[in-house]
């Protein structure tokens, strides 16, 4: 694989490994600078020595990679806001008592059933200078929230840390926010907010104003709400208002990426602009005019779409591709992509941990590398068939490349993805073209009714096609267990197989066999780890008591109502089963006494009945029993008391105080999450 011979490839890998190392170690900025300084010294020494003695070129190369590694470390350290002394995370008292906080609104998020949500930037706490991104939750009521990007607000409240997952193997939203440099949230009512008259007019204000103007003009033109929300997602990346039903349809049909503005959309825009610029001759001056026009258009699109990370990634990526095309360096497209990765991660290294970033670049590398191989496997003569075949091979190449990582993140595979892509491609192409025209007109004035109707009916047709394909749920393979061992080994096997298919020889075949053995070893190691597990878990589920005992793959469920639990779809349990390759063997009604690894667990439910003679190691309280816990602790003397999600908050606070007096450990699943016993 020639791309691996590029010096830039090795530099990029070193840089990425530096980011990964820093994410585990998280060194201080000063330490990172010292490592970088030592790298520059080594690089300078070996640079001059290698000029005199070519044998030292190896050491010059190693010092280059070490320096790149150090740059990756310092890039992450500098972009980690929690390491900065001015970040609010260091004002510990703000998480304990209410303080006056001044915040500037930056972005509106998707609202939930209870709150309107925004991302804000703290300007100061009380009179002290503190900074940092934060999520603002404003309690919803009948009055529409009028806040927008650029508003400065003042509130008096307590900062709250992002809550950790309450149940095993759930999506870690706290870690997700940490990677976006958001370490806290606030919850306030509208009455508690004081809005300053002065508006901070930065780039976020202007992008928000542009979007608001577009939405206003679309609503004025009587654009159907359902289709308009999809249109805003397709063209501007604003998918906050899309219904969960439509999102599920796109997910089951294998085209979720369509709703997230990414490389697909930016690629359409670049092709459309290139088509419009075709009359300009391909002279040196004409080619430069085309390049400048394309880059300016992509930048303007990024601004109009709100400068979201996926759009920025795609705009940078395609800007570099356009530049490479202008310089007639089509053979080095990989080089161009590597430069875009380096540039993006240099300024925003936390993109590396974003699933969208990983999927975007893996898909694009797969298309560039694998699609020509698939396309040349059959060369139809009919132009229409040839066009469909090329479109299908692009989809297949992207799907093959992203298949392992999609299984790792989402644990499902839509088998009809190729059918969906063939059917929607003509419609989607038309929608993107007319959508860009409609949005451009809507920036200035209300769009002509004929264009709105054509655009609306096109999106309606797209939704109907996707809904029809998504209705075949049996073709959506769900709950596929796939871990990190599988991810790495399958990618090694995939890469080795493609290299062998491109130009078969004996050595490459041996590598394919080696990676096949690695896949088998990953399966064996996974099985070994699974069979060695023996654990009991008390889950956090509101108004329910759920306990599982796991012995290897076999999982036994204990619940307060076994009959109803068999019929219900329990996402908490399903997540645990998939992540741990588990099989639910039986569902039993929970008993008052359980035994696990020689430890006795006593459960007291709403009846409040218990035997004084029982001396449990663990006392589990469920369904808010009306008991005198002080007396029970005297009688039973447990080592730890656990209160699950079926108990009311007031009861848990009372029990917590009682346990503190007796110096007995108290574990509330609503505060600390699930309880695991190994």
Q: What is the per-residue pLDDT across 268-307, written as a single tens digit (0 to 9) for each?
A: 778 778 878 888 887 888 888 888 888 888 888 777 776 6
Q: Give phi and psi for 619, each to the nearest 5.
A: -110, 120
pLDDT tier at 563 (50, 70, 90 boundaries)? Answer: low
Tokens of 137: 């939750």
The more confident residue out of 570 and 48 is 48
Q: Specify whether the CB–CB gap between 443 and 226 falls below 8 A.
A: no
CB 394 within 8 A of CB 417: no
pLDDT of residue 613: 82
Structure tokens at 374: 């698939």
13-30 burial code (b ≥16 CB/10 A, e <16) = bbbbebbbbbbeeebeee
Residue 609, pLDDT above cutoff 50 = yes
User: Burial of 144 by CB count in 10 Å (0-12 exposed, 13-18 middle, 19+ buried)?
Assistant: exposed
Distance CA 670, CA 165 (A): 10
**DSSP codes of every residue in 263-319:** HHHHHHHHHHHHHHTTTS--SHHHHHHHHHHHHHHHHHHHHHTT--HHHHHHHHHHH
List the single range of 105-109, 265-269, 642-646 with lowest mean pLDDT.
Answer: 265-269
Pairwise CA distance, residues 243 & 658, whole Å:
46
Q: According to the model, what pLDDT value does residue 261 have? A: 65
Strands 583-589 and 593-596: unpaired
The dihedral formed by the CA atoms of 137, 139, 140 and 145, expressed in degrees to the nearest 10:
-60
Better-scored residue on pLDDT, 383 or 608: 608
Please check the confidence at residue 329 and state whether its pLDDT lies above 60: no
Q: Kindly report, residue by residue over 390-399, the tens digit of the pLDDT.
A: 878 888 888 8
Mean pLDDT of all residues in 541-568:
82
Rounded-to-integer distance, Cα 426 and Cα 562, Å: 50
More confident residue, 339 or 485: 485
- 88-200: CATH class: mainly beta
Is 450 a residue whose pLDDT tops 80?
A: yes
Residue 173 phi/psi, 5-degree rounding, is: -65, -30
pLDDT, the chain, mean: 87
Average pLDDT over residues 224-235: 85
Contact yes or no for 600/615 (Cβ under 8 A): yes
Give the distance from CA 421 to its chain's centroid: 23
pTM > 0.85: yes
The token duo for 120 is 């804000």
Neighbours of 670 (CB within 10 A): 16
Which residues share a beta bridge with 557?
548, 587
Q: List, for residues 538-554, the tens digit of each pLDDT value.
A: 999 998 899 999 999 99
Confidence of residue 331 (pLDDT cuts 50, 70, 90): very low
pLDDT at 564: 59
Whether residue 118 contacts residue 105, with contact meaning beta carbons closer than 8 Å, is answered with yes
Q: For residue 74, which of 14, 42, 29, 39 has the smallest C-alpha distance? A: 29
**pLDDT average, residue stretch 413-434:** 82
């Amino acid at each position: 694989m020639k791309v691996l011979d590029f010096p830039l490839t090795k530099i990029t890998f070193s840089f990425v490994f530096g980011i990964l190392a820093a994410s585990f170690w998280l060194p201080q900025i000063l330490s990172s600078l010292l490592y970088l300084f030592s790298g520059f010294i080594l690089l300078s020494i070996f640079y001059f020595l290698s000029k005199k003695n070519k044998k030292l070129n190896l050491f010059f190369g190693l010092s280059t990679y070490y320096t790149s590694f150090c740059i990756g470390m310092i890039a992450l350290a500098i972009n980690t806001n929690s390491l900065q002394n001015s970040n609010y995370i260091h004002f510990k008292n703000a998480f304990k008592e209410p303080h006056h906080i001044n915040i500037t609104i930056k972005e509106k998020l998707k609202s939930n059933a209870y709150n309107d949500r925004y991302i804000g930037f703290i300007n100061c706490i009380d009179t002290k200078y503190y900074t940092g991104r934060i999520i603002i939750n404003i309690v919803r009521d009948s009055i529409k929230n009028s806040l927008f990007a650029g508003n400065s607000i003042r509130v008096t409240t307590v900062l709250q840390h992002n809550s950790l997952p309450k149940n095993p193997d759930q999506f870690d939203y706290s870690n997700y926010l940490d990677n976006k440099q958001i370490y806290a949230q606030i919850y306030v009512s509208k009455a508690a907010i004081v809005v300053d008259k002065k508006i901070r007019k930065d780039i976020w204000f202007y992008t928000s104003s542009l979007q608001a103007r577009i939405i206003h003009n679309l609503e004025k033109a009587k654009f159907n709400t359902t289709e308009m929300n999809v249109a805003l997602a397709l063209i501007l990346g604003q998918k906050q208002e899309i219904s969960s039903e439509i999102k599920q349809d796109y997910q089951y049909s294998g085209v979720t990426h369509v709703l997230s503005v990414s490389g697909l959309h930016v690629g359409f825009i670049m092709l459309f602009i290139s088509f419009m610029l075709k009359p300009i001759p391909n002279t040196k001056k004409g080619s430069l005019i085309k390049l400048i026009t394309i880059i300016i258009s992509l930048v303007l699109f990024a601004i109009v779409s709100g400068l979201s990370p996926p759009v920025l990634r795609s705009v940078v990526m395609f800007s570099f591709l356009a530049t490479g095309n202008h310089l007639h360096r089509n053979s080095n497209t990989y080089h161009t992509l590597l430069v875009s990765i380096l540039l993006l991660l240099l300024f925003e290294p936390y993109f590396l941990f974003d699933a969208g970033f990983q999927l975007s670049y893996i898909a694009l590398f797969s298309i560039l590398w694998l699609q020509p191989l698939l396309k040349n496997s059959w060369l139809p003569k009919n132009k229409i068939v040839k066009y469909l075949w090329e479109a299908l091979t692009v989809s297949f190449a992207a799907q093959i490349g992203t298949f392992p990582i999609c299984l790792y993140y989402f644990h499902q595979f839509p088998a009809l993805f190729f059918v969906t892509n063939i059917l929607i491609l003509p419609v989607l192409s038309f929608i993107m073209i007319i959508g860009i025209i409609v949005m451009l007109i809507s920036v200035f004035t209300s769009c002509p009714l004929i264009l709105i109707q054509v655009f609306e009916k096109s999106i309606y047709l797209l939704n109907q096609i996707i809904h029809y394909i998504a209705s075949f749920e049996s073709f959506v393979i769900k709950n596929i267990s796939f871990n990190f061992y599988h991810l790495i080994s399958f990618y090694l096997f995939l890469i080795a197989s493609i290299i062998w298919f491109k130009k078969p020889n004996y050595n490459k075949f041996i590598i394919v066999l080696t990676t096949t053995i690695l896949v088998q070893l990953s399966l064996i190691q996974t099985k070994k780890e699974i069979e060695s597990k023996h654990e009991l878990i008390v889950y956090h589920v509101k108004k329910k008591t759920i306990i599982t005992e796991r012995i290897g793959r076999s999982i036994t469920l204990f619940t307060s109502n076994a009959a109803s639990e068999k019929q219900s779809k329990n996402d908490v349990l399903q997540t645990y089963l998939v992540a741990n390759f588990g099989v639910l063997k039986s569902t039993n009604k929970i008993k008052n006494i359980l035994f696990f690894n020689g430890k006795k667990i006593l459960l007291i439910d709403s009846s409040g009945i218990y035997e004084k003679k029982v001396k449990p190691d663990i006392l589990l309280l469920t369904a808010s029993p009306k008991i005198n816990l002080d007396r029970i602790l005297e009688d039973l003397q447990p080592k730890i008391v656990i209160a699950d999600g079926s108990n009311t908050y007031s009861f848990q606070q009372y029990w917590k105080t009682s346990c503190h007096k007796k110096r007995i450990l108290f574990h509330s699943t609503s505060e600390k999450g699930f309880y695991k016993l190994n």
